[in-house]
Amino acid sequence: MGTGLEFGLSTAKLSQQGFQIKNGIVVACNGLGLKNLLRGGEQWLETHVHVVNNLNVFPVPDGDTGTNMLLTMRSALAKIEETPDQRVGAIAAAAAKGALMGARGNSGVILSQFLQGLAQGFAGRVSFTAGDFARAVQRGVEQAYQSVLNPVEGTILTVARAIAEAAARSAAASEDLLVLLVEVLRAATVAQASTPSLLPVLQAAGVTDSGGQGLVYIFEGGLRLLNHDLIHPISTGEIAPVLPLKLKFSLPDENEAYGYDVQFLIQGEQLDVSTIRTCIDRFGWSTLVVGDEHLVKVHVHTQDPGQPLSYGAKQGLISDVVVDNLDQQAREFVHKVEETQAEIATIAVAPGTGLTRIFQSLGVGQVLSGGQTKNPSVQELLTAINQVKADNVLILPNNKNVILAAQQARDLSQKNVEVLPTQTVPQGIAALLSFNYQADLPTNVQRMSTAARQVQTIEVARVARDSRLNGFNLKTGGVMGLLDNELVGAGQDFDGVALEVLAQAEAEAGEIVTIYFGRDSSLEQANALASKIGEVYPELEVEVYAGGQPHYQYIISLE
């Protein structure tokens, strides 16, 4: 293995960019160096954002993984620019916080969690070595995997894990940080190329994973910027202000009416939230521990309040201590709940102007633009939560790529927020039609979840590129039909494909079909489709509405 300087980078050039050279090798990187790596990653990703967007399993022009990751990186860099502390630990922490608040879509949320783990590994450091980087990247991978309920290989997670493994091998063999970065990029590229062999749906579509490719570009861009190679200033556009991080609290549980309710803050350095949560949980029940390495909020029900308080004092400076007698507090709380019913506000995501108006007509308090393109960020969702007046909030993402961001916004809010994991617009509309303003939030979540499961969603769109998927040979300009996000039909005619998918959905067993036509369709075309459906299924009630959604000629619900 050669030295890092053999990769075409001069000692003077690297020193100017925040890297420490000793005995001809790169031994450390300071805050400036980390900023340059992240800035280069963001710029190179922007240069290739359309490449990443086009790596979409479904060959329709709605791929937005690259855009989501780019906007997440922009938010990270914007937060870095606000940070006066130029140590590596502070730069990494700012990047992680900015990325979290700007995270969009699943890829953006996973990327933000990767940066969060990286920040944990760099916490308190002025600079980092190859060994420090390897350990921090491993933390990033662990955080990324934990952010996904059911991790799937062949995705950005696989590429991130390959990066961590390569970093560990390189750090064990050499102190040269530049060698490590080059080896990491090589491993990421190999892992990215392997994603189709790990995920059959990618192999069938003839593409590699889009999120993994975005991560490769981020690491490649960092190296290219160090060498001033093919990286030029690119306008990042307007970046929304980053909101402050918030902690989420919970009210006492009326079923735990004995002992004491203990709450306090711990301030310190390098606080381990996970370890603190585990230890606090041993002292009682109804445990909630959230925060970061500098500030942790503790809530626990316990028979002995002295135990968690004593433990907290050993971790750092405790403040805002509250100890309440649960036996008395629970009676008062239950009495209030029985007398008053909390107001519930709803937030929905919609991909078109017509669908936005439909959600508004159903009483949704805030409708965010998004769906198949430009998913709302965690910050935008959190802003919507804060803007609605109710303390109880229900979010309907209406797209599987918005659910993770909605869950992150929920966890950052002080309000009582629930995310109903609706994956399609028809599911969201069906859920809202079952909403009961007289019922509490848990009851509505149950009712609406049941209603969402009763509807089937059909989406009909133009094929954007040649592809093979689910046994279909798709040609550019043809038409494809999805049933609950799975490709089940293809052809050359929108109406014919729609009827084909309705047959597969066993439409004869349904009662109502609702057609939401997109911005590239018309009322006349939608009415013509409705007439054909009526001829084939005379028992079905067919309704037509202007959806205004991009890319999808029709979104059709079957109930």
Distance of alpha carbon 46 from alpha carbon 44, whole angstroms: 5
Q: Which segments in the chain show pLDDT lower than 70?
A: 1-12, 56-63, 149, 204-205, 227-258, 286, 288-291, 326-342, 371-373
- Residue 332: how many other CB atoms lie within 10 Å: 10
CA distances to 296, 323, 325, 402 from 309, in Å: 13, 10, 15, 39
Distance of alpha carbon 346 from alpha carbon 328, whole angstroms: 33
As a three-state string, the secondary structure of 459-511 is EEEECCCCEEECCEEECCCCEEEEECCEEEEEECCHHHHHHHHHHHCCHHHCC
Burial of residue 187, with CB atoms counted within 10 A of its CB: 0-12 exposed, 13-18 middle, 19 or more buried: buried
Residue 513 makes CB contacts below 8 A (sequence gap 6+) with 502, 507, 530, 533, 537, 540, 541, 542, 543, 556, 557, 558, 559
Which residue's entry shows tokens 């949704």?
A: 364
Structure tokens belonging to residue 405? 């961001």
pLDDT at 205: 67
pLDDT at 240: 28
Residue 235 makes CB contacts below 8 A (sequence gap 6+) with none
The residue ranges of DSSP E strands in 351-497, in sequence order, are: 366-369, 392-396, 416-419, 456-462, 467-469, 472-474, 479-483, 486-491
- Residue 416: how many other CB atoms lie within 10 Å: 19
Distance of alpha carbon 279 from alpha carbon 294, whole angstroms: 18
pLDDT in tens, 138-193: 999 999 998 776 788 989 999 999 999 999 999 999 999 988 998 999 899 989 98
Q: Does residue 467 contact residue 474 with C-beta atoms inside 8 Å? A: yes
Structure tokens belonging to residue 322? 């509250």
pLDDT at 325: 74
* Residues facing residue 544 across a β-bridge: 515
Q: Does residue 88 contact residue 118 with C-beta atoms inside 8 Å? A: no
One-letter amino acid at 81 equals E
Closest CA to 559 of 531, 540, 544: 540
CA dihedral (51, 56, 60, 61) in degrees, to 10, reads -30
Helix axes of 31-47 and 210-226: crossing angle, nearest 10 degrees: 130
For the question of whether the overall pTM of this predicted structure is more than 0.85, the answer is no
Strand 344-350, strand 317-325: pairing = unpaired
- Residue 513: how many other CB atoms lie within 10 Å: 25
**Positive/negative CA dihedral, 126, 107, 101, 72:** positive
Q: What is the spatial order of strands in the sheet that 260-267 belongs to?
A: 285-291, 295-302, 260-267, 317-325
pLDDT in tens, 38-94: 999 999 999 888 888 878 665 554 457 888 899 999 999 999 999 999 999 999 999
Distance of alpha carbon 89 from alpha carbon 84, whole angstroms: 12
Strand 552-558, strand 456-462: pairing = antiparallel
Q: Count how many Cα atoms sit within 13 Å of the Cα of residue 185 in the half-sphere of its side chain.
A: 16
Structure tokens belonging to residue 142? 């662990």
pLDDT at 236: 31
pLDDT at 284: 84
Alpha-helical segments (H) within 147-199? 156-173, 177-198
Q: Does residue 263 contact residue 234 with C-beta atoms inside 8 Å? A: no
Distance of alpha carbon 34 from alpha carbon 14, whole angstroms: 12
Q: What is the spatial order of strands in the sheet that 456-462 belongs to?
A: 486-491, 479-483, 456-462, 552-558, 512-517, 541-546
Structure tokens belonging to residue 260? 């004491």
Distance of alpha carbon 489 from alpha carbon 480, whole angstroms: 6
Q: Does residue 121 contact residue 138 with C-beta atoms inside 8 Å? A: yes
Closest CA to 28 of 14, 40, 41, 49: 14
Q: Which domains does the chain have, with CATH numbers?
A: 4-226 (1.25.40.340), 260-338 (3.30.70), 344-453 (3.40.50.510), 456-558 (3.30.1180)
* Residues facing residue 21 across a β-bridge: 26
Distance of alpha carbon 280 from alpha carbon 308, whole angstroms: 6
Phi/psi class of residue 486: alpha, beta or left (left: φ > 0; alpha: ψ in -120 to 50)? beta
